[in-house]
Structure 1
Amino acid sequence: MTPSKVTTSSASVAVLPITDKVQEAMAVARRGVDELLIESEFAQKLARAEQSGQPLRIKLGLDPTAPDLHLGHTVVLNKMRQLQDLGHTVIFLIGDFTSMIGDPSGRNATRPPLTREQIELNAKTYFAQASLVLDAAKTEIRYNSEWCDALGSRGMIQLASRYTVARMMERDDFTKRFKEGTPISVHEFLYPLMQGYDSVALKSDLELGGTDQKFNLLVGRELQKDFGQEPQCILTMPLLEGLDGVEKMSKSKNNYIGITEPANTMFAKVMSISDVMMWRYYELLSFKSLAAIANFRSEVEGGRNPRDIKVALAQEIVARFHSQQAAEDALADFVNRSKGGIPDDIPEVALSGAPLGIGQLLKQANLCASTSEALRMVEQGGVRIDGTVISDKGLKVDAGTLVVQVGKRKFARVTLA
């Protein structure tokens, strides 16, 4: 597929009046964003859409680098849904081609490209999970291999001729790696080009992404101009910190809340964030009005326990991805655990080899990833058997059925023979 060249010039288009409806749409677009570039252009796009009845084409691309989505991904998906609810066309673009290159954004080393098999496996679950946020029936789903594969080597060379190395080196991560003498592979320069070419192929009016994607989104604007298209506006959303409150939410850092995790686990993880970080999660994840969130802040400043406000957030998120009843049950389960109770739905595990060392037992019961982690948890006082804290790293556990707990959230009913 070769994108058609159109001849539009924003300079030749009459400036339209900004109606109340457009102002309301702009307020929705601005909420919680890091940047909206360029606001005046986007307001005109909205005004034209209102006048013509032709919805805007709003694009979000995600590379299927992992099989599951977490709450960090939903920050930008939530914004997509808000714009979708305004009547615009949202395009959920799966980067099955760009995943084979590997996004260098924020990287201090070359990212290993994924295989076609890994990409196809991960892509299977992406849209299904995204549909927990987006209206699937009104979402256009596309794969960028549709036009990227068709480019071929000749088309790739022609596309590369449209951007200079000097402009590529304006990227902070490329500049830093070059100064440090860290290798930069030539294929990494192709990633921003291909992402920008996606915008040309889809004739995007607005592209969304995290703050780490700003350079790539701007490349899309420049390529659209080069192809004679009206340049897209760009909207960047903040990157949500994980449960540690420091690093970006990431499955690899184990600080994430998966959107398909069990309701009780999801609820407990939200409750584990700090009182300070709670407001960040409200800002980026909650659908409550800004006035309601401001009222919560006033109540906390007036002496209300922030735990109550955090419960409301945890219930809102669990209800969104499960149900209101699941949110109520998760709260009851959390209260029960807080009182030292055992959850109702803990996994049953059968093991053999009694007497079994405590480290091996925790590893084989999938309560710890390794024996070294298990022994470290014992040393820190984070392991209980039938409610009793275990402090002996050399403990041999005899045959029987027992409830084993690691940390606050991991339980298993182990039958050891």
Structure 2
Amino acid sequence: MLKQSPTNKEIDHILKRGVALVEKEADLRRLLLEGNKGEPLRVKLGVDPTHYDLTIGHAVVFRKLRQFQKLGHKTVVVIGDWTARLGDPSGRVEARKALSAEQVAENSKTYLDQFFRIVDSEQTEVHRQTEWFDKFDLGDAIKLLGYKTVAQMLERDDFSKRYKSGIEISLAEFMYPLLQGYDSVALRSDVELGGTDQTFNLLVGRDLQPIFGQASQQILTMNLIVGLDGEKKMGKSLDNYISMTAPAKDMFGKLMSLPDKTMRTYFEALTEIDEEELDEFDRKMAEGTLNPRDVKLRMAREIVTEFHNAEAAQEGQEAFIRQFSERKLPTDIPDYHLAASQNVVELIVSAGLAASNNKARELIKQGGVSLFARGESGESERITDPNTTIEVIDGAILKVGKRQHIRIKA
């Protein structure tokens, strides 16, 4: 039900918290305060199922959708089962690999399960692009292309950089923002959300709607959180992400590994801690009266609670303190059954502790692999040679990186 007379504080929270840009802020503020002729706003989000798993970076926009829902507005999510086949060129210096229809269908199965961990399914419409694009013919596609010029497309930053660098741009990539923009027409979107990398695509939708006799949608873009490296946008391709479905202890440990400078952004994007309290954290850390580690523990607890629950967050904190502050091994190390001696690189990959042989060798080169031959009671020996053979020693523990362990079972 649409909430009557939302407060200015509630509106400010939606329009300011973690937000990079509101295209026409005064217009959207008026719609939120005065209502849309008594009807809920249709708040759209498009998602391309390019992977079976989502990161907590995706949850930044999902949480903003939930804030709109709390005022009674309708979430309209569109599964990009056509655009995913093209590949989103946003933020790319080269063409993104396109997916098959079968891959898209498989990935989309898990997307909504993860999406509805955060967004209320009762206030959500779910659509797929095939509902309208499967009915398109060649004439419809050519007509859609006619609404934008090549010069307008090259105004897009990533296209412009590629063009100036002599990197090829396919005509299919020009179609991507037009298809995403047409989704707003098909769904009669009032507001569209996205990350800052989606601004151009969202504006195309805003431009197309008046052509089809609709009011232009409002646009709200969110600040993107950086990944575990503390520098680049969180993403699967950069292997700097935290999965939305990661176990609580693993999620807690990864959050604690973030650089201190990222904490404010994570607090704003993934928690509901008041800005006044966050300002107090910043002031006290600058004065030296508050340990940044204590602030990061609070951040990790709040975020893990969001994706799991308070009990799991507390267990995650206790496991972290035990493992890192007290320099003890975790208590829940999984067993790995080893039938015969094996090369350490092959073992790391087969145990799922690294994605590839190259990643495993890189971890070894960086000093991130150790063997506790006598289990918890013994000292560790760092492995520096990727040609090392791991013998079948029952109870030995292999540590890979800061958080991953396996216990060898004969």
Give the structure-1-normalised TM-score: 0.90
Q: Identity over the aligned pairs, expressed in percent? A: 43
Alignment of 1:256-271 (within 5 A): 256-271=241-256
Aligned partner letter, 1:312: R
Aligned partner letter, 2:23: L
1:100 is displaced (CA, Å) by 1.3
Alignment of 1:281-300 (within 5 A): 281-300=266-285
Aligned partner letter, 1:310: K
Alignment of 1:205-216 (within 5 A): 205-216=190-201
Aligned partner letter, 2:31: K
Which one of the candidate residues 391, 397, 400 is aligned to 2:393? 400
Q: Secondary structure of 1:400's partner?
A: coil
Alignment of 1:122-161 (within 5 A): 122-161=107-146
1:231 is displaced (CA, Å) by 0.4
Would you say 1:350 and 2:337 are equivalent positions? Answer: yes
Instruction: Report Cα offsets for 1:229-262 as digits up to 9, x if no partner.
Output: 1100100111211010111101121111111000
Q: Secondary structure of 1:150's partner?
A: coil
More off after superposition, 206-215 vs 293-302: 293-302
Which one of the candidate residues 229, 232, 246 is aligned to 1:244? 229
The answer for the alignment partner of 1:389 in structure 2 is 381
1:176/1:361 CA distance change after superposition, 3 Å: closer
1:312 is displaced (CA, Å) by 0.8
Give the structure-2-normalised TM-score: 0.92
1:350/1:199 CA distance change after superposition, 3 Å: same
| Structure-2 separation of matches of 1:169 and 1:390 | 51
Alignment of 1:109-258 (within 5 A): 109-258=94-243
Gaps of 5+ in 2: 373-378
Q: Secondary structure of 2:7's partner?
A: helix
Cα RMSD between the aligned structures? Answer: 2.0
Aligned partner letter, 1:282: F
Instruction: Report Cα offsets for 1:24-63 as digits up to 9, x if no partner.
Output: 424422222110010122123224426x321101001010
Verify the 8 A CA contact 1:25 1:86 in the aligned structure 2: no
More off after superposition, 391-400 vs 138-147: 391-400
Verify the 8 A CA contact 1:381 1:389 in the aligned structure 2: no
Verify the 8 A CA contact 1:29 1:83 in the aligned structure 2: no
| Structure-2 separation of matches of 1:262 and 1:136 | 23
1:348/1:162 CA distance change after superposition, 3 Å: same
1:233/1:297 CA distance change after superposition, 3 Å: same
The answer for the alignment partner of 1:410 in structure 2 is 404
Gaps of 5+ in 1: 1-18
Verify the 8 A CA contact 1:210 1:239 in the aligned structure 2: yes
| Structure-2 separation of matches of 1:62 and 1:300 | 38
| Structure-2 separation of matches of 1:201 and 1:111 | 25
Q: Secondary structure of 1:258's partner?
A: coil
| Structure-2 separation of matches of 1:413 and 1:206 | 51
Verify the 8 A CA contact 1:22 1:43 in the aligned structure 2: no
1:295/1:252 CA distance change after superposition, 3 Å: same
The answer for the alignment partner of 2:16 in structure 1 is 30
| Structure-1 separation of matches of 2:67 and 2:383 | 51
Number of matched residues? 397
| Structure-2 separation of matches of 1:262 and 1:271 | 14
Which one of the candidate residues 320, 323, 332 is aligned to 1:337? 323
| Structure-2 separation of matches of 1:181 and 1:379 | 36
| Structure-1 separation of matches of 2:106 and 2:206 | 31
Q: Secondary structure of 2:132's partner?
A: helix
Would you say 1:56 and 2:50 are equivalent positions? Answer: no
1:388/1:144 CA distance change after superposition, 3 Å: same
Would you say 1:88 and 2:58 are equivalent positions? Answer: no
Instruction: Report Cα offsets for 1:172-199 as digits up to 9, x if no partner.
Output: 1112222222111111111111111111
| Structure-1 separation of matches of 2:264 and 2:353 | 31
| Structure-2 separation of matches of 1:392 and 1:216 | 47
More off after superposition, 28-37 vs 359-368: 359-368
Q: Secondary structure of 1:366's partner?
A: coil
| Structure-2 separation of matches of 1:273 and 1:392 | 26
1:75 is displaced (CA, Å) by 1.2
1:373 is displaced (CA, Å) by 4.3
1:20/1:372 CA distance change after superposition, 3 Å: closer
Verify the 8 A CA contact 1:367 1:410 in the aligned structure 2: yes
More off after superposition, 69-78 vs 364-373: 364-373
| Structure-2 separation of matches of 1:279 and 1:154 | 50
| Structure-2 separation of matches of 1:102 and 1:365 | 32
1:367 is displaced (CA, Å) by 2.7
1:294/1:397 CA distance change after superposition, 3 Å: same
| Structure-1 separation of matches of 2:23 and 2:155 | 18
